[in-house]
Structure 1
Amino acid sequence: MFAVLSSARKAMTRVVAVSSLLWLAACDASMIGGLAGSGGPSVDTNAPVRVALLVPKSDPGAGVVARSLENAARLAVADLDGVQIDLQVYDTAGSASTAAAQAQRAVDDGAKIILGPLFGEAANAAGVAVADEGINVLSFSNTPGIAGGNVFILGNTFANSADRLLKYAAGQGKGRVAVLHTNNVPGQVGRNAVQSAAARSGATVVGTEAYDLTTESLSAALERIKAVMAQQDAQSLILTDDWAGGLSVVLQLAPEKGISPASTQYMGLSRWDARSDGFNLPGIQGGWFTMPNRAAQSSFESRFTAAYGSAPHELAGLGYDGIAAIGALVGQGRRDALTGRALTQSAGFQGTGGVFRLLSDGTNERGLAIATVRNNQVVIIDPAPRSFSGAGF
């Protein structure tokens, strides 16, 4: 971990639970692979449709998020109009083998679709366990590597943020970008997402540099990327790190090393708004990052708090989104509502963070806003699209 550079930086090293859990979901699991199929069970939309919710209730490190996901799913069931969902909850204990067994048990009990699990390896195992029975899995993971076959991921991905940022940057004349990423799996996934997004958006990646989570490694990487940026006339620097890693130190040290926010557009793949105590860091002022639709998110958080007496976990909205998608499809009266073909409808669904849709490769696409920090306040500079036919996609 980074050496302490100052008391301010020391205060920024606290672990943020949401970021940690997101990349706990990125554990290395074997892929099911392939495009999401069109198959799935036939359902009677005039009767209750059984949905199995798989969450790590007894996992000491994830019990809080498990409860929040379950509460959000139950809130979504209550919000459905004219659709009957029979929600049954199964404890995975945070274990892949337990998740596989519970997925099979759920299907034996009559489940027509599985919502969850949270962790990538567990979701992969659950998908494998029920693939031969044509049951689809809507996982809370954000790991693209497990998506495909009968497994879909609901978690927001680096690809979503990178696509939105690079498309916007290219349109603003800031499309020559350098990438500074952590030398670990999340950093490499983020780097790859930026490179892929650049190819789709007309932006250009002029160079990439990796660093370990030490001040010495970061300092050396900053010197290297600064030289590349000068040689290649880079206009922007995109960061993959988050507050749970070394983002606070990067946003302090990069300007000190001469990569000035006045002449370089800073961008980030993580949620920079998650730590208001970092808004005074020099690299964050005027930097760009993505956010969900604020109005939709605030509405969900208010209703959740009113129902349960406390604010939802950062990942809770995924539980609501899964039920919302299932409910919308069942509400159409389609017997094929839970097939891959129906789940990947192009119009998508309205979720807790705005519009989203599931893709044929098992990943997802989400409508995101472009935000910045000005005078220690989050400001939306390009609103989240409200549909997949609008600007922003």
Structure 2
Amino acid sequence: MISALRHFRKPFRLLSFLGLTALLAACQVGVPGSGPTGPRVSGQTINVAMLLPYGSASAGDDLVARSLENAARLALTDVPDIQVNLTVYNTAANASQAAAVAQQAVSEGADVILGPLRSDAAAAVGVAVARSNINVLSFSNNTEIAGGNVFVLGHTFQNTATRMMSYSAAQGRNRVLILHARNLAGEVAREAVERAAVANGATITGRVSYEFSQNGVVAALPTVMSTVRSTDTNALMMTGDAAGALPLFAQLLPENGLDTEATRVMGLSRWDVPPQTLELSGLQEGWFALPDPSAAAQFNARYEAANGTPAHILAAIGYDAMRAVAETAATQGRLGVAELTASSGFAGGTEYSA
């Protein structure tokens, strides 16, 4: 949905994200039905392997892993019609180890693999089990790795860009300048916005890239401002997040003359993570995409009640993945591409609506 940042106590203006089933379908690259058919479910029991970054050198990875696992186990309480045997395998956030434990999981009878978290590990896992007839539902949001036996479940740039551009064009903000980092993620984000603009009748007035550094941000400011003024730009799409260049641009663009009313600021990332990002002056009145706050609050409350700790922001992906797999197995009897991407499938644990 789209959230307008006016004053934080005022209600959000909302536009819903795509649901999980649509996300699976959109990210399965290749000829429909060309991926693994998946094993038939044995009676009403499925063996699920979950590949998580436990054992990484980063303490943050253990936190994410625990939250994803807890959320998946929470999902199992909502699918009583099928027995799920869940086995967790530690990847240490390492692609080689992820590939090795994926092969181990298949040899131990896994019907489907959930995870791993990052795209390099997910790609390695896909290759490692490519001949096994087992699908891999990774938690990555990098569609470059999707195809064959690999799905991505994270919120993709394309998914978000499509929602953002649809809303923006409908509001008359249809002359868009793209501001992106000069790296792989920035280029993927730029391409997603360009495709979404074409699909929604918007015009890209320019593309400004910047070196991913403080000096790079400062150096890009004159180009941003001159392009806005010379092209009648009425919307600025910033692809960076709060851990990157977003806070610096949010501070410096208004200081360099950007009128955020005349040129609506938009983002592909979550501006509410961390919450302090919402206080940045250059983002006021801007638009960004996020799941339904009320549904997310319900999920977070359930998670905390069950586990005694708050859910990580990615936890809902673990819940949705397990619910989707369990319900698909219970109703379809198979975990193949056709069943996982069925249009009548699961709509998401945090109730994103299509």
Q: TM-score band (shorter)?
A: 0.7 to 0.9
Alignment-derived partner of residue 14 in structure 1: none
Alignment-derived partner of residue 345 in structure 1: 342
1 CA distance for matches of 2:307 and 2:139?
Answer: 21
Answering whether residue 293 of structure 2 is matched by residue 300 of structure 1, we say no
Q: Which secondary structure state, in structure 1, belongs to the residue aligned with residue 216 of structure 2?
A: helix
Query: How far 1:38 sits from its partner (Å)?
Result: 4.5
2 CA distance for matches of 1:88 and 1:143?
Answer: 25
Answering whether residue 54 of structure 2 is matched by residue 60 of structure 1, we say no
Percent pairwise identity: 44
Residues 112, 232 of structure 1: alpha-carbon distance in 2 compared, 3 angstrom cutoff: same
Alignment-derived partner of residue 354 in structure 1: 351
Does the 8 Å contact 1:117/1:139 carry over to 2?
A: yes
The structure 2 residue matched to 1:41, chosen from 29, 38, 41, is 38
Alignment-derived partner of residue 232 in structure 1: 231
Does the 8 Å contact 1:294/1:353 carry over to 2?
A: no
Structure 2 residue runs without a partner (length 5+): 1-27
**Considering only aligned residues, what root-mean-square deviation do their CA atoms show, in Å?**
1.7
Does the 8 Å contact 2:44/2:330 carry over to 1?
A: no
Q: Which secondary structure state, in structure 2, belongs to the residue aligned with residue 199 of structure 1?
A: helix
Amino acid at match of 1:335: G
Answering whether residue 98 of structure 2 is matched by residue 99 of structure 1, we say yes
Q: Deviations over 1:278-334 (max 9, x none)?
A: 3332211100000112222111111110111000111111111111111121221x2
2 CA distance for matches of 1:65 and 1:216?
Answer: 32
1:200-349 alignment, distance < 5 Å: 200-332=199-331, 334-336=332-334, 338-349=335-346
Q: Which secondary structure state, in structure 2, belongs to the residue aligned with residue 279 of structure 1?
A: helix
1 CA distance for matches of 2:264 and 2:104?
Answer: 51
Structure 1 residue runs without a partner (length 5+): 1-31, 356-385, 389-393
Q: Which secondary structure state, in structure 2, belongs to the residue aligned with residue 93 of structure 1?
A: coil
Q: Deviations over 1:200-238 (max 9, x none)?
A: 111111101011244443233221122222222111011
Does the 8 Å contact 2:38/2:337 carry over to 1?
A: no
Does the 8 Å contact 1:55/1:90 carry over to 2?
A: yes
Q: Deviations over 1:182-212 (max 9, x none)?
A: 1222211111111111111111111010112
Task: Kindly tell me the number of residue pairs found equivalent between the two proteins.
Answer: 324
Does the 8 Å contact 1:56/1:91 carry over to 2?
A: yes
Q: Which secondary structure state, in structure 2, belongs to the residue aligned with residue 162 of structure 1?
A: helix
Amino acid at match of 2:239: T
Query: How far 1:242 sits from its partner (Å)?
Result: 0.8
Q: Which secondary structure state, in structure 2, belongs to the residue aligned with residue 90 of structure 1?
A: strand
> TM-score by structure 2 length?
0.87
Alignment-derived partner of residue 12 in structure 2: none
Between 32-41 and 248-257, report the one with greater CA deviation. 32-41
1:137-148 alignment, distance < 5 Å: 137-148=136-147
Query: How far 1:33 sits from its partner (Å)?
Result: 7.0
2 CA distance for matches of 1:352 and 1:258?
Answer: 43
Runs (4 or more) in structure 1 with deviation over 4 Å come to none
Query: How far 1:346 sits from its partner (Å)?
Result: 1.7
Does the 8 Å contact 1:43/1:49 carry over to 2?
A: no
1 CA distance for matches of 2:105 and 2:350?
Answer: 29
Query: How far 1:35 sits from its partner (Å)?
Result: 4.3
Q: Determine which structure has greater relative contact order: mean sequence separation of CA pairs < 8 Å that are 6+ residues apart, divided by chain length.
A: 2
> TM-score by structure 1 length?
0.79
Residues 75, 134 of structure 1: alpha-carbon distance in 2 compared, 3 angstrom cutoff: same
